[in-house]
Amino acid sequence: MKHEMQILQEAARRFGPLCVGLDTDPSYIPQNILKGFRSPAEAVLAYNKAILERVVRDGSACCFKIQAAYYEAMGLQGMDVFAQTVRAVRDAGFVAISDVKRGDIAASAQAYARAHFSGDFETDIITVNPYMGFDTLEPFTQMCVAQKKGVFVLLRTSNPGAADIEQKDLAQGGRVLDCVGAELNRIVEKTQSDFPEQTCSCVGAVVGCTHKDDAEFLRKAYPKIFFLIPGYGAQGGDAEICATLLREAGGVVNSSRGILCAYKKDSSLSEKLASDSLTMEDIAESAARAAVASKKDLARFV
């Protein structure tokens, strides 16, 4: 039986590497649509489902990422919408990546792993943070092996402030990200040995496409690691940098706002936007067009 990272790698090769981020803030939804729902959370769920269903129809995405913070900010109802969104992605036959960036001491990490690999919030793959120490990763990787799930470990993130920690030089030589990468490489080799018939480990890395200088180095340094690549589109990352990171084991390229808010820059909808007459169908169609355009953009170099 395949683990979820293997399934994702195969989906990326079949459909292309685009990952659509359902990182939906209620402020993204036009007011004329928002006021038709009983709550912002209810509107977000309808927004997510409309975009999911329309993007899936075109076959332009290989997976969907759901950023938990947007849903946590909406309270209990928001977390229910988070669970329903993850479930909708999985029910559609796609890999769901829950972007939760968990990282804590062993007992707490075990609880986080149970929370996202079983029960109400069960997903396929999660993101985790290694900066409390590498022992904090063990509960996640152990459960991935046991339940055939997946984790992406933060390595080189897309935000400008990443350099404050990830690029810091160490007394023993190298940078913080080199230290994390070396340990991650060891974990990947160990976990891949648990699935010798599969072409990638159940453990991958988060590597942003906003750092051109690091892209070539990181792909050469870690050829066997499957990457989750944020930063494409709204954050300034481009397809050429993505192409470098997509070599070897490959990866998926996330785009969130560029697709969720595509209607704001869609000239065909300018009159409706100005007159507050946009429909959910208009937004979903615009998102689908943006996803197709992103897929084509990435294909120019891949």
Q: Which residue has the tokens 């036009």?
A: 30
Both tokens of residue 100?
A: 């939760």
Paired tokens of 218:
């990181």
- In angstroms, the CA 218 to CA 204 distance is 13
Helix axes 280-299, 40-58, angle to 10 degrees: 50
Q: Over the stretch 88-112, which tens digit does the pLDDT of each residue have? A: 999 999 999 999 999 999 899 999 9
Answer whether residue 141 shows pLDDT above 90: yes
Average pLDDT over residues 41-62: 98
Over residues 211-254, the pLDDT tens digits come to: 888 999 999 999 999 999 999 977 778 999 999 999 999 999 99
> CA 99, CA 5: separation in Å to the nearest integer?
15
What's the pTM?
0.97
Q: Residue 248 in contact with residue 284, Cβ under 8 Å?
A: no
Q: Which of the following is catalytic: 101, 168, 212, 272?
A: 101
Answer yes or no: are the C-beta atoms of 234 and 257 closer than 8 Å.
yes
pLDDT of residue 233: 79
Give the per-residue pLDDT at 302: 72
Unique residue bearing structure tokens 């991650």:
184
Can you tell me which residue has the tokens 């990272």?
Answer: 5
CATH number, residue 131 = 3.20.20.70
301 confidence band (pLDDT: 50, 70, 90): confident
pLDDT of residue 236: 77
Query: By residue range, what is the domain housing residue 67?
Result: 4-299
Domain count, the chain: 1
- Quick one: DSSP state of residue 184? H
- pLDDT of 29 above 90: yes
Q: Is 49 a catalytic residue?
A: no
Per-residue model confidence (pLDDT) at position 78: 99
Q: Mutual orientation of helices 106-117 and 138-147 as an angle, nearest 10°?
A: 30
How far is CA 54 from its chain centroid?
A: 19
Q: For the chain, give the mean pLDDT.
A: 96
Arithmetic mean of pLDDT, 195-204: 97
Above 80 in pLDDT, residue 190? Answer: yes
Mean pLDDT across 1-26: 98
Quick: pLDDT tens for 164-182. Answer: 999 999 999 999 999 999 9
pLDDT at residue 7 in the model: 99
